[in-house]
Structure 1
Amino acid sequence: MPRLLSVLLFALLTLLAPLTRAADPSADYRLGAGDAIRVQVFQNPDLTIEARVAEGGTITYPLVGAVKLGGLAISEAESTIADALRLGGFVQQPQVNIVLLQVRGNQVAVLGQVNRPGRFPLETTNTRVSDMLAAAGGATVGGDDIAILIGLRDGKPYRKVIDVPSLYLDENSQDDITVAGGDSIYVHRAPVYYIYGEAQRPGAYRVERGMTVMQALAMGGGPTIRGSEWWLRLHRKSADGSIEKISPKLTDPVLPNDVIYVRESLF
């Protein structure tokens, strides 16, 4: 009698599983590296195991060996193991049930020049880059306008350079893509230029988009009484590594790592 009840209970849970998953907002969660699962096969207790998905997306399962589950939804993973058992002749009509014990692959790392770097869970399946940057507190003052996203898509390495301001300024930014478990977002340090000589506040400053020499000079407080905005020298590293010495116009653009020298006025 107890065995009959257990059989009926397992059959009932198997029938209800699709309905339960359909009502679950995370039903389309796809397994990733680091996820811990329990695999059960009806009336085959010897095939019940607990395993962790390896970096390559596989688990080692009794009788069939390595099984690729990474990137599959729970129902797809169940079908994959069932097919392997049936095709191998181990179980004629396997009824496989997988329980997600611990989620590790369902996280995104946000690194570099952000206020709260770390790993953050994907709470929904349509989480976007802007959501993850917000979770990390946004970029620091010294953070670049460019972020780099790396991960896997369809089992292949994926890399995308993202224009951060456009995520919030453009109504339909093409860069605000959906992230996936295991992705990493890196915000590099913003490029800088240097100003010295007869400047009020010599030092290193962030290169803003479209910045001109006049604007760069203003960031440094302008020239001192002894200096002149018309008597400048710009040092710029060329493609071959040599240093060019330029007498810039105030409307010329400023590039990363430019060095502006404010010379003393002749009069």
Structure 2
Amino acid sequence: MKKFYDFIFLASLLLGGTAWCHAQFTGVAATSAPGLNVRHPLTTDQVVLFPPQQDMTIFPNDVVGISVFGVTPSYLDTERVSLDGNIHLPLAGIVSIGGLTITAAEQKIARLLEDQGLFHDAQVNLVISEMPDHVVTLVGAIGKTLPLVGQRRLLDVLSLAGGLPETASTVIKIDRPGLAEPIYVDLGNDPSTSVASNIPIFPGDVITTGNVGAFYVVGAVLASGTHVLSGSRPITVSMAIASAGGTSEIASRNDSVLVRTTGNTRTVVPLHLKDIQEGKAADPVLQANDIILVPTSVLRSIFRPSNATVLVSLAVSMAALLR
């Protein structure tokens, strides 16, 4: 009888194939990973998000016209702002106006003219006649440079750039000259709330729109492979399994894992798919490059209908040999 059981064990190994092999992962050990799905904190300071209306800022390469009201002889000059922000005024010399608003530049030039003894109570008027570098730059999922004269809103700029791609994140990063930290806003997918994130955009701003990326479902599912994340709605583990056609009849659902790579660290999180799909456990939201691995159950693989006939035939043949 022992020979019979040894034969059945050998047959199960042959039929189970690689189901006995467990994937090896580098990085930290399996964990409940409380840090899953933590997003970058959004900017909440309303002064940063919606700064007071301000004059146009003077950029390098701008061409400015300067005049002084009510003086004789008349004082008129046209200068191009150098890369270091300077202009050279006749009689008055070099003055730095790059990065100043028009009003601030007028006041600075007036003080300089008075300090030089050229005019008393000078009323300076400055006009920008050319502004080649008054642009907003979009990088990431959208790669464009757009001219920006005056103040526009974020949705205006994105619309001019062709709109957000389906695979782009709704979390937008804005790097603004003069601010130490980037601005983060989430446009979301609800028009009634996205207006709160429709912040003013200024020349010199750099808008980063990130690609959400893809996730992978492998193992005992009906359609294993690569799936694209959506920027407008979250994709959870149960939704990912559904997009892969569901688990196969030989799946070991409660032995599944989520593999997430952050930098050089790979984290393996156990997934109890049965509990998740029945609403008894949390349904994690996926991030780019996540891998869901659904292993094969050896017993399910051995005793699935397609193998049952083979097992019966083997058992009958073995029983005949042992008579």
Structure 1-normalised TM-score? 0.71
Shift of residue 45, structure 1, vs aligned partner: 7.3
CA contact (8 A) 2:113 2:122 kept: yes
2:260 maps to what in 1? Answer: 236
Shift of residue 141, structure 1, vs aligned partner: 2.7
Matches within 5 A, 1:204-219: 204-206=227-229, 210-219=234-243
- Indicate how the Cα distance of structure 1 residues 172 and 49 shifts in structure 2: closer, same or farther if over 3 A, else same: closer
Q: What code does the residue aligned with 1:32 have?
A: F
Among 46, 59, 62, the alignment partner of 1:32 is 59
Shift of residue 149, structure 1, vs aligned partner: 0.3
Please list every run of 5 or more consecutive structure 1 residues that lacks an aligned counterpart in the other structure: 1-26
Aligned with 2:182: secondary structure?
strand
Q: In 1, Cα distance between the equivalents of 2:266 and 2:259?
A: 10
2:13 maps to what in 1? Answer: none
Shift of residue 94, structure 1, vs aligned partner: 4.2
- Indicate how the Cα distance of structure 1 residues 156 and 214 shifts in structure 2: closer, same or farther if over 3 A, else same: closer
CA RMSD across the alignment? 3.3
CA contact (8 A) 1:233 1:260 kept: yes
Matching of residue 101 in structure 1 with residue 132 in structure 2? no
Aligned with 1:253: secondary structure?
coil
Matches within 5 A, 1:59-78: 59-62=87-90, 63-73=92-102, 75-78=103-106
Among 108, 116, 135, the alignment partner of 1:80 is 108
2:284 maps to what in 1? Answer: 253
CA contact (8 A) 1:30 1:70 kept: yes
Shift of residue 211, structure 1, vs aligned partner: 3.4
- Indicate how the Cα distance of structure 1 residues 207 and 228 shifts in structure 2: closer, same or farther if over 3 A, else same: farther
1:119 maps to what in 2? Answer: 145
CA contact (8 A) 1:207 1:255 kept: no
Aligned with 2:218: secondary structure?
strand
- Indicate how the Cα distance of structure 1 residues 245 and 76 shifts in structure 2: closer, same or farther if over 3 A, else same: closer
Please list every run of 5 or more consecutive structure 2 residues that lacks an aligned counterpart in the other structure: 1-53, 277-281, 301-323
Q: How many residues align?
A: 233
Shift of residue 183, structure 1, vs aligned partner: 0.6
CA contact (8 A) 2:136 2:145 kept: yes
Q: What code does the residue aligned with 1:66 have?
A: V
Bigger radius of gyration: 2
Among 126, 133, 146, the alignment partner of 2:171 is 146
Among 152, 169, 188, the alignment partner of 1:165 is 188
Shift of residue 50, structure 1, vs aligned partner: 1.7
Q: What code does the residue aligned with 1:118 have?
A: K
Shift of residue 219, structure 1, vs aligned partner: 1.9
Shift of residue 123, structure 1, vs aligned partner: 4.8
CA contact (8 A) 2:186 2:194 kept: no
Larger strand fraction of residues: 1
Among 221, 241, 245, the alignment partner of 1:221 is 245
2:314 maps to what in 1? Answer: none
2:199 maps to what in 1? Answer: 177
- Indicate how the Cα distance of structure 1 residues 164 and 100 shifts in structure 2: closer, same or farther if over 3 A, else same: same
Aligned with 2:265: secondary structure?
coil
Aligned with 1:165: secondary structure?
coil
Q: In 2, Cα distance between the equivalents of 1:39 and 1:254?
A: 57
Q: In 1, Cα distance between the equivalents of 2:104 and 2:285?
A: 54
- Indicate how the Cα distance of structure 1 residues 248 and 259 shifts in structure 2: closer, same or farther if over 3 A, else same: farther
- Percent of aligned pairs with the same residue? 24
Aligned with 2:101: secondary structure?
coil
CA contact (8 A) 2:56 2:150 kept: no
Q: In 2, Cα distance between the equivalents of 1:239 and 1:140?
A: 25
Deviations 1:192-246 (A, max 9, x none): 3221123314124316755332111112222345546555233234798253252
Aligned with 1:130: secondary structure?
helix
Aligned with 1:170: secondary structure?
helix
Structure 2-normalised TM-score? 0.60
CA contact (8 A) 2:188 2:194 kept: no
Larger helix fraction of residues: 2
